Structure 1
Amino acid sequence: MSAFASAAVVWLLALVSIASATDFQKCKIGTPPLNTTLGNCDKYPCNLVRGTNISGGVDFVYAKDLTVLKPELTVFVSGLPLKWPINQKDGCASLTLNKCPIKAGTRARFEYSLFLGPRTPLVQPLIRFELKNARGETIICSEIPAKIIPKKKFQLKMFESSD
């Protein structure tokens, strides 16, 4: 195999491994993050158990300096957007990697948590996570398909035997 072919194979394998590590949908606006996590989800749709706390994070690099980060979570149910409150209003205070002001081209990680109420409807929403700048413009955005499941169903699956 030629050196060029070997390099092409290595590049392709690297590309595949990166793609599998960033399993989310890109938004039509903003820059996609490096990685997005939502609970313990490793495949979509993400099962979110109502009546529990859910945490997640977003790793990102942005091309411009950032002094303000405003997180926003929107769920789309049958195409209708609904704002979903998260516990963090100041995105800079919730950075676990880096701090504001964030210099252009440097990596940062924002972590968040929210409570999914026990009466949350059992639906399959698309969840859009956005970080906005001081002007309210979306700078980082990702979307994750989810499924709201009852607590009992989740608890039973955790204790089922795998014999």
Structure 2
Amino acid sequence: MMKEVMFPVVLALCVAYISATEVNVCKSGLPLPVSVGVLNCDKGPCELPKGTEVFMNLTFDAPNDLEIFEPKIIAHALGIDVDYPLAEPNGCNQLVDDECPLEEGQRVLYATSMEVLSFYPNINFGIELTLYTYNEDGDKFPFTCFQIDGKVVG
């Protein structure tokens, strides 16, 4: 219960201190967000200490009128791809100073975090974050993506 109460407060404080991070285009060729920020990381590989939470935000323009959008993170490590589950699968619930529905072209700030669990091995990996929405026919499609390298430390 305490985590659900504290998360928005901590996230809001972190958003204020996250500066722009250099990221890469995904293999899919999707457009990059307007900007991306990972706390304490100007460019990859980002060092992610075990037992911490990594805060990130991205600014994007809504590709169409959308009721909902969904983030998906894939971690690439040791030759395998693993879906990284986010605590909140509905991106609308983590918009900063905005809410869904969004209008086409509306610029918004989305903030999220990832836990780096203490038992994770010290490895290098890639992270790919893609945002998805739905078209008028109800088909899910990606609209922005970025990739960055990371390194678990500690």
Q: TM-score range by the shorter chain?
A: 0.7 to 0.9
| Structure 1 position 26 matched with structure 2 position 17 | no
Structure 1 contact 65–101 (Cα < 8 Å) conserved: yes
The residue aligned with 2:120 is 120
Q: Are residues 132 and 63 of structure 1, via their aligned partners in 2, closer, same or farther at CA, if it must alter by over 3 Å?
A: closer
Q: Residue 132 and residue 146 in structure 1: after superposition, are their counterparts in 2 closer, same or farther (change >3 A)?
A: same
Partner residue of 1:149?
Answer: 153
- Residue 6 of structure 1 corresponds to which residue in structure 2? none
Gaps of 5+ in 2: 1-19
Segments of structure 1 that go 5 or more residues without pairing to the other structure are 1-20, 151-163
TM, length-normalised to structure 2: 0.77
Cα deviation code 1:113-160 (max 9, x no counterpart): 12111011211111001111133321121101111111xxxxxxxxxx
Residue 110 of structure 2 is matched in structure 1 by 110
> How many residue pairs end up in the alignment?
130
Q: 2:71 aligns to what?
A: 71
Q: 1:81 Cα shift? A: 0.8
- Correspondences of 1:1-163 after superposition (within 5 Å): 21=20, 23-27=22-26, 28-134=28-134, 135-150=139-154
Measure, in 2, the Cα distance between the counterparts of 1:65 and 1:22.
28
Larger radius of gyration: 1
Structure 2 match to 1:156? none
- Is the 2:91–2:110 contact (alpha carbons within 8 Å) kept by the matching residues of 1? yes
C-alpha contact 2:128 2:147 (8 A) present in aligned 1: yes
CA distance in 1, matches of 2:97, 2:21: 18
122-131 vs 60-69, which deviates more? 60-69
RMSD: 1.6
3-state DSSP class of the match of 1:65? coil
| Identity rate, percent | 25
AA matched with 2:24: Q
How far 1:25 moved relative to its partner? 0.3
Question: Normalized against structure 1, the TM-score is what?
Answer: 0.73
Secondary structure at the aligned position of 2:124 is classed as: coil
Do the aligned partners of 1:74 and 1:127 also contact (CA within 8 Å) in 2? yes
